[in-house]
């Protein structure tokens, strides 16, 4: 999802992967917690964050849910 724009408070992310990394850092959380929530391995999540594997729409929605963000805050 290279053209995704996420506007959350004062943060602006132009790619979903950057958004995920930024939110994890801002919330002082690690990849393991998100990977567990998404029911995938940490390495599978890392491949998505590196852009090697595309996010499924379900993973996209579940990630937003994990961060407590409504889909209406996402601009594509």
Condensed to tens digits (0 to 9), the pLDDT of residues 46-73 reads 999 988 888 899 999 999 999 998 888 7
Is a pLDDT exceeding 70 seen at residue 45? Answer: yes
How large is the angle between the packed helices 57-67 and 16-26, nearest 10 degrees? 30
Largest Cα separation within the chain, whole Å, is 31
> pLDDT exceeding 70 applies to what percent of the chain?
79
Mean model confidence pLDDT for the chain: 83
Cα angle value 34/5/72 (rounded, 5°): 75
* Residue 7: pLDDT band with limits 50, 70, 90: low
Is a pLDDT exceeding 70 seen at residue 9? Answer: no
């Amino acid at each position: 999802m290279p053209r995704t724009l996420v506007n959350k408070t004062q943060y602006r992310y132009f790619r979903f992967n950057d958004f995920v990394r930024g939110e994890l850092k801002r919330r002082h959380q690690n990849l393991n917690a998100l990977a567990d929530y998404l029911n995938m391995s940490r390495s599978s999540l890392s491949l998505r964050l590196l852009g090697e594997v595309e996010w499924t729409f379900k993973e996209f929605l579940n990630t937003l849910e994990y961060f407590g963000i409504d889909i209406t805050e996402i601009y594509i």
